[in-house]
Structure 1
């Protein structure tokens, strides 16, 4: 069955405003069911978590539903789902917890392809412990992150390897299972940043070989919340800094303070939305999520292929990276204009695209692009259309014909 783009777009109230949202990598619009779930939870009587009274039990149910939804999205178990305000916050919590057990001579491997949220927490934890940081490098021409280099980077003193499942700057999807095999052969843990890949196709934590995987709900139609998953036994072996009276249970011990119960309702609704992207899908929610994201990925790949072909065909545009496997994301520059100026000029015409380094600090530093503004990012989500791509390309042509003006 062809992907029903009209049905899909109708599920997003914000699209009625008429803007062209081509920066799903920075955050997607919320599906109507998410908005409704958040509002309903805020209208209802919800107390802090307690089994003693109905509003307290309602909050317990919202937390449990959110854990179950994330588990179905990622192929995890609910008891291994840690919820939090952002991927950055959750990664810092994990890095500080693991880092407390590191010693001088221990090693951590990070990648220059990653978002800084999967770099700086590990670098800082290593520095605090006196551990050594080793760097995996990407190919400057293609944007690939060669997996074979990890055989040289990972050794008996490696405690953790951190790598992205997909670059938020140029879309590159490294061979995570191959990297996981090297890490595990050395007895190291693998932390995978799945923020940029989870929205664009089925995710299976076990197949990736990830000991930890983090994702952000606002990148897949949900509210501003995040989740990190691991085996419950892995969490149980870790002792994070926490308040003395707070729960010591797993996964609760890793979650600080009272959660936003309405946003947790929205998170669960977002997974339900993804499970409904393919109306012909059957089975349990995990099966329907996989089917929905598979259908969405096929649509996104078609739209992205149109975008990438159009950008690379234009002599005034420089496209960065040409990885064989990539998420529907591309960074580029338009000759004669700074990225900030290009983004502003596009913004005046209703196009929403990011500019700068989008926290892919190491990538843009290595490419020598940070000092003069980074690049423009265009990323496709399942509500984007070929017509939107064509309109963007037409507008870029207009800007190329009139450099330095709007």
Structure 2
């Protein structure tokens, strides 16, 4: 691997890690679009610094970009606080005007006679990782290390301000200054990323790793680590594409990030689309089995109360199917599933029969359902959601004294399930 390639990959990887760390707090504080406005507002500062210095001096241009970006954030705050314009409109206003001013200044620079020194200035719009040198990597690494140290030192403060700034302020913490420090970290990260990713798409490098990490974990510490690792992977993948194909760096890095994000949206284990579909299907199957068991019990309950044995209580398939609203496929799948776990005996010529274990399970489901019905009838503030969803957990939230009282009401009304003894009914 060539030395220049190693420099570029190192710079892109470290920039991705820094963007992932800082971007996590930007996303949590709902400052993602503010970072976008800051990146666009930095373009006029780049151009003005170039005009003042007279050459392409990266430190001077980055300082100009930082000053211009912070000025843009200040203008957004002034518009939001001093007028009736909402923050999203103020961000859009500053973003578009700043970018327009930057494009005009770029055109002015292109019309100057000193063409040699301005070569490559337009790369700040879409980014150009191939132009990185060792000094650029050192600068990015220094900023990343500083951000990491600040996060480690002020982790608890950043955590509270990110999730509940009002609580931090009530507790006497300097929430305003902590938030200002977060914004400064975002601003510096955006500015150092402009040469690699560009003005247009730098905000994506802040947002994508953090948004992707949120699909895999809800823990803040794990989110920071995973977001940093994703930032490294995104930076390396996008840079590898630009090294082999004539594509601009910024869009390539962002598209690589989009691939990671789409993969997480689809296949994250808990919050991904596929996992949610599978969980929903599993829940629906479980609910259908519970409904089938409760239907079986309710149909044979009169016979059980008359003293007939469980073996004598059989159910006609047609009667069982018609006592609930369900599709044929749902009904058949539920029968097979319950037979597989031993809750329903193998079908006989004279109908369907519950096993002893199936009777106990069905009676317990009916007990919980009837308890929930009593709660809904006697306590208007109770939610009906549990009664419609998972009957197997319908009474776990009922206080023990109230539960005993409700069970006594069921017994006195002759509605306590026959197949369930008192001791079994009390064990939840």
| TM superposition score category, shorter chain reference | under 0.3
Task: Give the TM-score normalised by structure 1.
Answer: 0.22
> More strand by proportion, 1 or 2?
1
Task: Tell me which of the two structures has the higher relative contact order, counting C-alpha pairs closer than 8 angstroms and 6 or more residues apart.
Answer: 1
Determine which structure has more spread, i.e. the larger CA radius of gyration.
2
Task: Give the TM-score normalised by structure 2.
Answer: 0.21
